[in-house]
Amino acid sequence: MTDPLNVCLEKKTGIDLPGSPYSVGWTRPQRILLVDNENPLPLDCGATLAPVTVEYETYGKLSRARDNAIFILHALSGDAHAAGWDADWEKYNRPWRKDRPGWWDCSIGPGKAFDTNHYFVVCANILGSCYGTTGPWSLNPHTGKPYGLSFPVVTVDDWVRLQLRLQDYLGIDKLLAIAGGSLGGQQAMSWVINYPERVQSAIIIAASARLGAQGLAFNAVGRQAILNDPCFLDGNYYGSAPPAGGLELARMLGHITYLSADSMEGKFGRRYQNGTKPCFRLNNEFSVESYLEHQGRSFVQRFDANSYLYLTRAMDYFDASAYGGGELAAAFASIEAEMLLISYSSDWLYPPEATRAVAKAIIAGGRPVSYIEIPSAYGHDAFLLETDKNTPLIDSFLKRGNYQ
């Protein structure tokens, strides 16, 4: 997922500063113990996990009827800080947040796609991540040391089970909507299939029923880069030098999947890093090399290598057709939510034809769905970049359902 500050700069839309009428302003993450030893969280791998703390943020106000709540579900490298400006970036040692808004700030706030004048918006960090919710970096209560690779393997369904507990904690019987792009969109599928009575509508963006073989291959190579880093130490690197080189390579590789051939050609082409002629060296000759190295280095400053292993594996495992015994239409037959699906023409990680297959399956299951394919050269990252095109679609969908 592209850096949100770069998104705003690339689209030349500017950034809504904390005092702007279009910004949710200063935000503070909240942490809550949602799972304790008396009520552990069951996981798909067969294990149970306790305790579990969840970090989340909220924007807007919950109505008296508690019927205006929207859960935003983040993607692989996202977090709970979806909008506004983090007032606690120093407290939690997150310097990368100092000068930039939340990762979907262009879409969440007054007058935006998820209008906080009308909606109570919630975004929680997923299980296994490294932004406040329990993960491999957390202390194992049985050893007093970070879990590392002793942390259980988690799935998208495990994430949703935990999000359900947050919904209950907030006292919300039924969500007005859930929305997410990429891996967040797959969480939304798990929500509407497994808990149809708990959500009224769903917005699924740049996501499909499962990751294709090429996506699986990119994730596998990225994990191998981390596992083979000499600093990895079988995942027990906390307190010593992290496997920065492996994580940097994994991010560089993954970032390629977020872009399209056209966007890379337009931004970089075959331009040399220094002038118009080669320097006859083996590294950092072309502009695209420098760009990917920058993406990798900046990612290492804000993400945990073990978390990357766990989250990409959860992405690999997800297959919505499994809920229907291998039949996608059967999986969606029991949903109750109104559905909006958005894909992008140049997205090859979750291509339009795969999202259309989900839309057809929903129709085959007898449920209504709106599907839109947006022409875009931005590849998978279009769900962050195409704000001008996404906003009216989302706004119209929510208004059409009389959700305001």
Span 348-388, pLDDT tens digits: 999 999 999 999 999 998 899 999 999 999 999 999 999 99
Catalytic residue among 3, 16, 347, 381: 347
The yes-or-no verdict on residue 142 having pLDDT over 90 is: yes
The pLDDT value given to residue 403: 46
Q: Does 347 participate in catalysis according to the annotation? A: yes
Rounded to whole angstroms, how far apart are CA atoms 188 and 316? 16
Q: What is the mean pLDDT of residues 27-55?
A: 98
Per-chain mean pLDDT for the chain: 94
The pLDDT value given to residue 2: 58
The pLDDT value given to residue 47: 98
Q: What is the mean pLDDT of residues 226-234?
A: 98
Catalytic residue among 77, 182, 201, 263: 182
Helices vs. strands in the chain: H and E counts, helices first: 12, 12
pLDDT band at 58 (very low <50, low <70, confident <90, very high): very high
SS3 content of the chain, % helix, strand, coil (to 5): 40, 15, 45
pLDDT tens for each residue of 323-345: 999 999 999 999 999 999 999 99
CA distances from 228 to 211, 238, 251, 292, 310 (A): 24, 16, 15, 20, 16
The yes-or-no verdict on residue 10 having pLDDT over 50 is: no
Let me know: does 184 contact 156? Beta carbons within 8 Å: no
Domain positions in the chain: 4-210+319-400
Place of tokens 């935003």: 72
Catalytic residue among 74, 81, 118, 380: 380
Q: Does 182 participate in catalysis according to the annotation? A: yes
Q: Does 388 participate in catalysis according to the annotation? A: no
At the top level of CATH, the class of 4-210+319-400 is alpha beta
Let me know: does 101 contact 18? Beta carbons within 8 Å: no
